[in-house]
Homo-oligomer: A and B are copies of this chain.
Amino acid sequence: MSAHPANRDVFVPHAFDEKQIDLGEITMNYVEEGSANNPALLLLPEQTGSWWGYEDAIRLLKDDFHVFAVDMRGQGRSSWTPRRYSLDNFGSDLVRFISLAIGRPVVVSGCSSGGVMAAWLSAFAMPGQIRAAICEDAPLFASELVPSFGHGIRQAAGPMFEMWNRYLGNQWSVGDWEGFIKAVKNSPFAVTAEMFPDPTQPPQFMKEYDPEWARAFFDGTVAVNCPHDVMLAQVKTPVLLTHHQRIEDPDSGILAGAISEPQARHAQRMIQAAGQRCDYQDYPEALHMMHQFDPALFARVVTDWVATLD
């Protein structure tokens, strides 16, 4: 598959019209819904997620917000950028997008790695760009190779990502779907099996995904120049951390989930120590992508929390 989205045939129809914007290095694919008279809201998907994971949530949010939802580089119909997947490059895309496409202060809400990016934007965006950040079940610390606090990627999603990258390859250069499904079945990562209920072909979100993302997380290069503790110490806006379903294996102590409770509490303490308001909301029944699987709850969480901002 090609790095340029125009050369990849991944389009399927959606409820909202897609637009593209040239950001210099990449072309970013996005949707924009709702009135410009309402507060701006930027939605960032999780790894393997395209903007349309937010489709139902956008239906619920577009009367109260000017909603933007994007495909990150390496995903959806945005450009693929071999060897250039890093938190700082994802963030630089978003800074440009906010500057060129939104043009006013925005509340940003991201899921999983998108939630890490919400924290990144709060810390490192241009002055005045970010009003507040919502980190939806974000793997703070837990998606780093060498976290300053708690367990790292190799004890979390890392081995799963390594498997994805091995069988699919950077830019789908391997593309061994049959071998991939066999490996998934034999792996201890139940979450992976659930993601692929029809083993005969890749689901749409995987077709839109550059498996080099997985390599960058497993290798740790994605965050090597953006340690999460350094980032959290520089947060400049209010932050909401939501924490979803997680299970700790009683024998091994290994956590199935995005982030441990001590890590979430530590992130909260660091943001507060940076002088910012940081709220923690626990949703132990919610799936990782609440925005996709319980859009009504997600829309309520966002709307209610934003209402508490000045």
Q: Spell out A's residues near B (CB within 8 Å).
A: 22-25, 82-86, 88-89, 91-92, 95-96, 99-100, 123-127, 129, 221, 224-227, 230, 234
Contacts and interface: CB of A to CB of B under 8 A. Distances in A.
29 contacts: A23-B126, A23-B127, A24-B95, A24-B124, A24-B125, A24-B127, A24-B129, A25-B123, A25-B124, A25-B234, A82-B230, A83-B225, A83-B227, A83-B230, A84-B226, A85-B225, A86-B225, A88-B88, A88-B89, A88-B92, A89-B225, A91-B92, A92-B92, A92-B95, A95-B96, A221-B224, A221-B225, A224-B224, A224-B225
Given A92-B95, A225-B225, 15 more contacts: A22-B127, A23-B126, A23-B127, A24-B95, A24-B127, A82-B230, A83-B225, A83-B227, A84-B88, A84-B226, A88-B88, A88-B92, A91-B92, A95-B96, A224-B224
Nearest to A84: B225
Contacts of A125: 24
Nearest to A231: B84
Contacts of A25: 123-124, 234
A84 B126 contact: no
User: Which are the 4 A-B pairs with shortest beta-carbon distances?
Assistant: A86-B225, A24-B126, A25-B124, A92-B92
A86 B88 contact: yes
